[in-house]
Amino acid sequence: MLDLKFVRENIAVVEEALRKRRSSLTLEGFVALDKARRDRLVGVEGMRAERNAASEEIGRLRREKKDASELMERMKGLSVRLKEAEGELPEIERKMEEFLLSIPNVPDPTVPDGAGEEDNPVVRTWGTPGAFPFPVKDHVDLGAALDILDFDRAAKIAGGRFCLSKGAGALLERALINFMLDVHTREHGYLEVLPPFLANRASFLGTGQLPKFEEELFRVAGTDYFLVPTAEVPVTNIVRDEILPASALPLKMTAYTPCFRAEAGSYGKDTRGMIRQHQFNKVEMVKICRPEESAGELEKLTDDAEEILRRLGLPYRVVTLCTGDLGFSSAKTYDIEVWVPSQDRYREISSCSTFTDFQARRAKIRFREGASGKTRLAHTLNGSGLAVGRTVVAILENFQREDGTVDVPEALRPYMGGMERIVKR
């Protein structure tokens, strides 16, 4: 959420940010509400001053044994009007809060202007996509032939956009989760946490998924619990409503969770395979830091995610999301895209973002310099490290052999009992 004072004093700046985001939202409603609030405040303050002056006058008249009935009658009417005006303020302020919650973050000045993903500039690439001397199979056909992925039985159990992994397929997912967590905790300095897979409305409000994106979430009927679409939600909210000592920053946490997404608006997109699912596994990285450190921490966060792909030997590229493709809460985002041979293109496998103080203001995440120092809003960042299902896709397709078997990346072999190649059982 943006600061009320900042929006009020920088209408043109926020309007320009909305234009760059290609948002249809305008600030006319906010300006009208702000004026109404100011008008009510002026009126309330004027009536309170009038009431106080009248009270003094009534007291004076009574001391002088003079008639104060006319003034007292006027005071009754004033009290009614004052009560009405005071009663209108909370509703106006509630609407202003609602409006502020609907305004996306202001893009960082370094974010390129653009309408959509076609305008996202490539920052760097790593590795070279392999040239296969045989017809490439996609992960669905490879998984079926190896008897490690079963989409038909998953559909029988739960419907579309689910996958049943088994045998070496299930082992590969578990190996990836453990490998990612080990690298992030042992080498990158993150604290591993295992959060709840459900979160309440206040948590989703804090990270920005609510109120705007409720249709994209799975809600537990009859409750205010939602299944987490990413570990960003529960992990960031670990420090909601807290004041951290500055000495604890940057606070770096990583977590594995299954993720659940309704995929509203994705009808017809990526219906085949594991690219876009209602349930998938992901390892997430979250950082809480000082404002002056967030730009540098974003670069480190992105490199931490890239390191997983480098260890696995998977070709990838990094793009900067342009203003029109930027997420609601993000000020700047790097997408890491892995090469998918069957599609002959790169596909997103991680998004690494800084939210500046946007989430911290909503979630009241603050820090204090010293025992008696002033509190400040922290900056929050997060990134996938990585999406596990899409990593499985990339491994199966990039390391396939002509006979349909798949080489296991060397980094994963210790996690798979020394297995060097996935073959049909």
Q: What is the number of other CB atoms lying within 10 angstroms of the CB of residue 90?
A: 9
Q: Are 413 and 136 in contact (CB under 8 A)?
A: no
Q: How far is CA 94 from CA 34, 39, 261, 263, in A?
A: 11, 16, 29, 30
- Please pick, among 21, 40, 161, 261, the residue that the annotation labels catalytic: 261
Q: Which of 276, 290, 311, 368 is catalytic?
A: 276
Catalytic residue list contains 390 = yes
Indicate the SS3 state at residue 400: strand
Question: Residue 219, SS3?
Answer: strand
Catalytic residue (choose from 21, 361, 390, 397) = 390
Q: Is 313 helix (H, G, I), strand (E, B) or coil?
A: coil
Distances (CA, A) of 294 to 230, 299, 303: 21, 9, 14
In contact, 207 and 236? CB cutoff 8 Å: yes
Return the residue matching tokens 């072999």: 413
Of the candidates 351, 353, 361, 362, the residue annotated as catalytic is 351
For 375, other C-beta atoms within 10 Å of its C-beta total: 13
At residue 386, φ and ψ (nearest 5 deg) are -140, -175
Distance in angstroms (rounded) separating the CA atoms of residues 208 and 240: 13
281 three-class SS: strand
Active site residue 70: no
Nearest to 230 by CA among 257, 193, 263: 257
| 69 part of the active site | no
Q: Is 187 a catalytic residue?
A: no
Q: At how many degrees (to 10) do helices 28-63 and 69-102 cross?
A: 160
251: helix, strand or coil: strand
Q: Is 63 part of the annotated catalytic residue set?
A: no
Catalytic residue among 23, 50, 348, 413: 348
Which pair of structure tokens corresponds to residue 215? 């249709």
As annotated, the active-site residues are: 261, 276, 348, 351, 390
